[in-house]
Structures are given as structure tokens and as C-alpha cells.
């Protein structure tokens, strides 16, 4: 049973958000007693739904998305404990899905804009409408590395490809992958690959000549 527009009366305390409550018990008298005796609005809650067993509650929860579930333990079809476990698993899965979506959107944005020297953690967060701290936690959780390290990997991987497949000067490649200073690009490249961009290209060319 889903409740609409309950507890709209005034209370002495103003709550910026009222927690949505679902009441679950297989005895109608128990639900009625809790429903009528608790001053939901005054306590900052809103009773949005009731269910007479765990299975019904689970189906209802998918629709009303309660913040709080008040449930009996022993009920037909699904116990209160099983219901809570099911809801907890569902919440965890939704959080994982949301984290994956944020990370994928960030990676797509980085792939489109890595050539821009002004690309930064802040600009990505602005695009995603997330705080820097929240995004940083989610991104590292999903990718295993921080934003700066990930961006550097993307830039240097593309730089290595350009060194392998084009005759563009190193300074030009640096610009193409988002480094405005060729000297700093060479420093970062050598730190990852162990050789300078020029030597990397030379070694690749020599290796290909040897294979030929």
C-alpha cells in the first residue's frame, strides 16, 4: 500500500528533508498502531507505503524508494532480515553502477580534451557537476589511479603512437598531446618510458629496420 499526501500539518520544527518511511508487518493491527501513534511529520518523517509481507515490501520498495524501513522479522514469503539484505544489495549495486557511469563519462571527456593544456581536475568536475573530493574518490575507486596519473597515461600513450607512426617533430607532438612546454613533455615521457622521445623514436625505427 502506497500512501499519498500524508502528514502535511504544521510542526514546531522545520525539516529541510523528510525521510520516507515504509512500514512492513503481516499484522494489520500492528501497522495501524504504529501508523496512528507516531507523529511522522513532527519527527521529520513521511509514511509513504505499507506492506503485509517481505515480498510485497520488496516490490513496493522498488517504486517508492524509502529512506527508512520499519519491519517485522517473522513474515510470510520473505522475512524482515531477508528484505533488509535484499534492499542493501540493491543499494550497493546502484552505487556501483553510478560510480562506473561517472568514471566512463570522465574518461570520455578526457579522451576528447587531453590535447588541451588547460584540462584539469577542476574542469572535469565542473563538466560532471561533482565536487573535486567526491569525484577523486569515485574515479580512483573505479580506475585504480588518480586523475593526474590517468591523464598523463592517456597523453603519453598517444605521444608514443605519434612517435611511432608520424614524422612530426617532438615539439609538435608535445603540443598535440597537451604539453605546452616540450622540455617538460620530454621529462615526463622519459620518466615513464626510460628514454627521451627522440631516442624512443630512434629505437623503434632501428627495431623495424632490423626486422626488415
Q: DSSP readout, 83-139?
A: HHHHHHHHHHHHHHHHHHHHHHHHHHHHHHHTT-TT--HHHHHHHHT--HHHHHHHH
Q: Where are the domains of the chain?
A: 117-212
Tens digit of each residue's pLDDT (9 = 90 or more) over 71-121 = 878 877 777 788 788 778 777 677 777 888 899 999 999 999 999 999 999
The listed CATH number (1.10.760.10, 3.40.50.150, 1.20.1250.20, 1.10.10.60) that belongs to domain 117-212: 1.10.10.60
> What is the predicted pLDDT for the residue at 209?
61
Stretches in the chain below the pLDDT threshold 50: 2-11
Amino acid at each position: 500500500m502506497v500512501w499519498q499526501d500524508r502528514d502535511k500539518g504544521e510542526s514546531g520544527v522545520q525539516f529541510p528533508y523528510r525521510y520516507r518511511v515504509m512500514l512492513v508487518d503481516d499484522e494489520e493491527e500492528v501497522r495501524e498502531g504504529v501508523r496512528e501513534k507516531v507523529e511522522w511529520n513532527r519527527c521529520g518523517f513521511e509514511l509513504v507505503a505499507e506492506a503485509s509481507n517481505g515480498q510485497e515490501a520488496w516490490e513496493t520498495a522498488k517504486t517508492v524508494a524509502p529512506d527508512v524501513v520499519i519491519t517485522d522479522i517473522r513474515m510470510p514469503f520473505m522475512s524482515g532480515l531477508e528484505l533488509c539484505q535484499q534492499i542493501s544489495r540493491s543499494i550497493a549495486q546502484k552505487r556501483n553502477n553510478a560510480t562506473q557511469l561517472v568514471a566512463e563519462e570522465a574518461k570520455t571527456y578526457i579522451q576528447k580534451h587531453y590535447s588541451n593544456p588547460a584540462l584539469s581536475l577542476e574542469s572535469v568536475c565542473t563538466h560532471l557537476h561533482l565536487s573535486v573530493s567526491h569525484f577523486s574518490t569515485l574515479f580512483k575507486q573505479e580506475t585504480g589511479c588518480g586523475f593526474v596519473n590517468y591523464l598523463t597515461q592517456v597523453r603519453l600513450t598517444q605521444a608514443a603512437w605519434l612517435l611511432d607512426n608520424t614524422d612530426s617533430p617532438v615539439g609538435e607532438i608535445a603540443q598535440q598531446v597537451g604539453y605546452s612546454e616540450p622540455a617538460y613533455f620530454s621529462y615526463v615521457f622519459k620518466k615513464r618510458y626510460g628514454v627521451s622521445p627522440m631516442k624512443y623514436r630512434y629505437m623503434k625505427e632501428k627495431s623495424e629496420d632490423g626486422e626488415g
